Amino acid sequence: MFVRNNEGKTRVNSNLIKQIQKRRTFAIISHPDAGKTTITEKILLFGNVIQKAGTVKSRGSNQYVKSDWMKIEKKRGISVTTSVMQFPYKDCLINLLDTPGHKDFSEDTYRTLTAVDSCLMVIDAAKGIEDRTRKLIKITRLRKTPIITFVNKLDRDVQEPMEILDAIQNEIGACTPISWPIGYGKRFRGLYHIHRNETILYKSGHGHEIRKTHVIKDLYNLDLDKAIGKDLAENTREELELIINAYPKFDQNHFLASKLTPVYFGTALGNFGVDYILDGLTKWAPPPRFHQANERLVKASEEKFSGFVFKIQANMDHKHHDRIAFIRIVSGKYLRGMKINHVRINKIIGADAVVFIAGCRKRAEQAYPGDIIGLHNHGTIKIGDTFTQGEKLKFSGIPNFAPEFLRRICLKEPLKQKQLLRALIHLSEEGAIQIFRPLQNNDLIVGAIGTLQFDVVVERLKIEYNVEIIYKDINAITARWIESENSRKLEEFKNKNRANLALDSGGNLSYIAPTMLNLNLVRERFPNIEFYSTREH
Ligand code: G4P
């Protein structure tokens, strides 16, 4: 591949291409309790990041141990994650990004999906596709991010695998089973890998380690009859004939366009079927390709460095209001000390970033497209900011999402109003919450995607800004950003709906809806007004 250098000549940058081809940057999406932590743990086991599973979280208790990954208890009782983990797997280098789940589900969860090249969707086979997963699929598909699916917990009583496939098909359009379970629950005997034409036999109780699996090549091998019994072997063959004919063949282009997902079955707890997914991921999931900027499409193979901020995380050193800005590298090579341009404020900085390799935070010497680097941020970096080696670019598609919960903030000490506002603007710039100021009064409304963020705000205001607050419920269910090309209609809308209008921290007009019914009615009544559920930074 040829790239243009500073003099406008083209030459091959084979090292850059090699580094790009090796990388797989992905996140796991799932509904709480589907098994995201468990599978992460097994993936880290295969990536040699941990030596024994069970170290991410000690079972049966809330005590999180050493590993810095996911759900790890921090001093303030807030679950803040390292967000990214890099490790090698076979010939690839994997960047696994955390998508905060459970109660710490937030805009960060959604926005992380803007920084990945593919997703692993984990489904609890007893429950099928659940709410949260559906929301995350929606975001992923908007961005045409390819999805690999893992149907988990086959060691339990689950729904019929065909029913699950049909549900997946309904959400994504098409699916191709790659592995297929032989029985489930107490009668779970193994997995047949359709593409490899091999069966691996299941034995419970080995979930904490990588074990040697018993492989039987060829579905019609009589060893299979001996291993699982003649009747079950014949049933499996019949079932597979049906399955292979009923679902489309795997098509790489459809997968890359997010129109088809390869489906794997297994049990994360039993560490069974997980390496099949990793093999699928390294084989099919795309390396970094390109990102759309407002000005042009930026290819990963371009020699000049560029990247965007998708997350800002509060650092432990809260006395200094220190934060790490997470940058997804889009193109070129990062080198420690290189000069990069903070495009929004047009300031050149000498880059001194950190990377997160195998769970440890280290100074980044070099990094490539697909990698995530962290820059210390003392308040000048915002979500959505672009860094380049000079070119004025702004990467698009790093939005704010309409809040799903809203509460009114009340100060315990009323004199601290100014301080509170400054602090809230600061926190909203990190992107986990949004603030809205109604046009008609001096209230301050906080909006979030997950309710834990409200507790995080209380804690951080107290510790970092010395401001104490409490929340009051308000009659609001969500917010929409308002725009119209017709200024007369917009004025009319504003006059009639003043009581429901507010400005967000960026001064953008928003409609605070008391109910979904109300929102739908107002939409019908004002067809010239656009109600957006996302807003670009
Ligand atoms: P999450 O991060 O998606 O929320 O899910 P997590 O991995 O924490 O898993 C949720 C529960 O499901 C855990 O049980 C976990 O052990 C269990 N689990 C995950 N994968 C499997 C599987 O393949 N088979 C079975 N049978 N269970 C599985 P828990 O009792 O809630 O927690 P714990 O005490 O075991 O940690």
Q: Which domains does the chain have, with CATH numbers?
A: 24-286 (3.40.50.300), 291-388 (3.40.50.300), 402-536 (3.30.70.3280)
Is 397 labelled a binding residue? no
Which of 62-71, 72-81, 346-355, 455-464 reaches the highest mean pLDDT?
Answer: 346-355
CB 40 within 8 A of CB 54: no
Q: Which residues are CB-contacts of 524 (< 8 A; sequence separation ≥ 6)?
A: none
99 pLDDT higher than 80: yes
Distance between CA 413 and CA 188 in Å, rounded?
61
Both tokens assigned to 280: 């699928």
Distance between CA 386 and CA 394 in Å, rounded?
6
* pLDDT at position 51: 72
Binned at pLDDT 50, 70 and 90, residue 66 comes out as: very low
Q: Look at the block and give the residue holding tokens 């605070």.
A: 512
Using the 8-state DSSP alphabet, how is residue 288 labeled?
P
Strands 84-89 and 92-97 come out as antiparallel
* Average pLDDT for 346-362: 83
Strands 261-265 and 147-152 come out as parallel
Is 102 labelled a binding residue? yes
How much of the chain, in percent, has pLDDT values that exceed 70?
89
DSSP E strand stretches across 368-404: 372-377, 386-388, 399-401
Average pLDDT across the chain, whole number: 88
Using the mean position of ligand 1's atoms as its centre, give its distance from the Cα of residue 37 in Å: 8
* Average pLDDT for 483-508: 95
Is 36 labelled a binding residue? yes
* pLDDT at position 318: 53
Regarding predicted confidence, which is higher, 238 or 214?
238
3-class SS shares of the chain: helix, strand, coil, % to 5: 30, 30, 40
Distance between CA 405 and CA 105 in Å, rounded?
12
Distance between CA 131 and CA 30 in Å, rounded?
9
* Average pLDDT for 264-281: 96
Of 41-50, 98-107, 404-413, 450-459, least confident by mean pLDDT is 98-107
What does each C-alpha distance from 461 to 321, 414, 421 come to in angstroms?
A: 11, 14, 11
Distance between CA 32 and CA 42 in Å, rounded?
17
Q: How many C-beta neighbours within 10 Å does residue 192 have?
A: 24
CB 151 within 8 A of CB 164: yes
Of the candidates 16, 74, 267, the one whose C-alpha atom is nearest the C-alpha of residue 83 is 74
Using the mean position of ligand 1's atoms as its centre, give its distance from the Cα of residue 125 in Å: 12
335 pLDDT higher than 70: yes
Q: What number does the ligand 1 atom closest to the CA of 38 have?
A: 7
Which residue's alpha carbon is at the smallest distance from atom 11 of ligand 1?
33
Q: What is the pLDDT of residues 286-323, one digit of tens each?
A: 999 999 999 999 999 999 999 999 998 875 455 556 67
Is 140 labelled a binding residue? no
Of 206-220, 228-242, 491-505, least confident by mean pLDDT is 206-220
Using the mean position of ligand 1's atoms as its centre, give its distance from the Cα of residue 59 in Å: 9
User: Nearest 5 degrees, angle CA 502-CA 505-CA 508?
Assistant: 55
Query: Quick one: 246 exposed, middle or buried, by C-beta within 10 A (0-12, 13-18, 19+)?
Result: exposed
Q: What number does the ligand 1 atom closest to the CA of 101 have?
A: 4
Q: What is the pLDDT of residues 391-427, one digit of tens each?
A: 999 999 888 899 999 999 999 988 898 899 889 988 8
Using the mean position of ligand 1's atoms as its centre, give its distance from the Cα of residue 433 in Å: 29
